[in-house]
């Protein structure tokens, strides 16, 4: 895992970053305020990571390892993009309902990376605990799986980020 990617990942998993932010809502019985997913993908023979996170303020970020000098690519925000914010909010809401099906660790515990490209790591963070689970991506895509809505909304959010970035790039090309 490249350091720039790890730094952004750790930033989102550190709930201390939310302590002085007004408007944080704690969702569900475990008071979740951040949720997201992490996936591994292959780039030739190399494994690279993708990390999506959202918080209850409506902030969302998508980071991925790439071949740039920093090793990090990503998109921050989603503000002003209602469909993205709605999908991210649904992802967060579903994550808050699934904490009982996840491993609970003290906040500050290192989130394990997904085992490989066929797996996805889903996580939810409260001020006291880090909840996470790893499942096969094929299982996460099964509508019968309890984690399906969480995963499906994460994929919608990623799609909206890609569309937003594509529109921004197209707009720059026209200017």
- Position of tokens 């991210």? 88
Cβ(102)–Cβ(124) below 8 Å: yes
Residue 122 covered by a domain: yes
Cβ(87)–Cβ(157) below 8 Å: yes
Residue 174 covered by a domain: no
Cβ(42)–Cβ(117) below 8 Å: yes
Residue 37 covered by a domain: yes
Residue 43 pLDDT > 80: yes
Q: How many domains does the chain have?
A: 1
Query: What is d(CA 162, CA 137) in angstroms, rounded to the nearest whole number?
Result: 20
DSSP 21: -
Cα-trace Rg, the chain: 16
Domain holding 132, by residue range, is 3-169
Q: pLDDT tens digits, residue range 112-166?
A: 999 999 999 999 999 999 999 999 999 999 999 999 999 998 988 888 888 777 7
Q: Which token pair is 131?
A: 């909840």
What's the pLDDT at 70?
Answer: 85
Cβ(51)–Cβ(5) below 8 Å: yes
**Helix axes of 148-174 and 82-97: crossing angle, nearest 10 degrees:** 160
Chain centre distance of CA 68: 21
What's the pLDDT at 57?
Answer: 82
Q: pLDDT tens digits, residue range 44-78?
A: 888 899 999 998 888 888 899 888 888 888 887 76
User: What is the overall mean pLDDT for the chain?
Assistant: 87
Going along 13-99, which residue ranges are E strands?
Answer: 34-43, 46-55, 60-65, 72-77
Chain centre distance of CA 61: 7
Q: Which residue has the higher pLDDT, 19 or 89?
A: 89
Query: What is d(CA 123, CA 112) in angstroms, rounded to the nearest whole number?
Result: 10
């Amino acid at each position: 895992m490249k350091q720039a990617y790890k730094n952004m990942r750790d930033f989102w998993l550190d709930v201390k970053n939310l302590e002085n932010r007004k408007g944080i809502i704690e969702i569900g019985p475990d008071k979740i305020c951040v949720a997201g997913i992490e996936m591994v993908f292959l780039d030739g023979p190399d494994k690279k990571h993708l990390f999506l996170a959202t918080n209850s303020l409506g902030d969302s970020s998508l980071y991925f390892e790439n071949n740039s000098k920093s090793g990090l690519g990503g998109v921050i925000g989603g503000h002003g993009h209602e469909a993205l914010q709605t999908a991210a909010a649904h992802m967060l809401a579903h994550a808050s309902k699934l904490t009982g099906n996840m491993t609970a660790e003290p906040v500050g515990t290192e989130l394990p990376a997904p085992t490989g490209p066929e797996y996805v790591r889903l996580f939810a963070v409260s001020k006291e605990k880090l909840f996470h689970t790893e499942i096969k991506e094929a299982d996460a895509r099964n509508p019968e799986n309890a984690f399906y809505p969480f995963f499906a909304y994460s994929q919608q959010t990623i799609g909206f980020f890609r569309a937003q970035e594509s529109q921004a790039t197209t707009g720059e090309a026209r200017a």
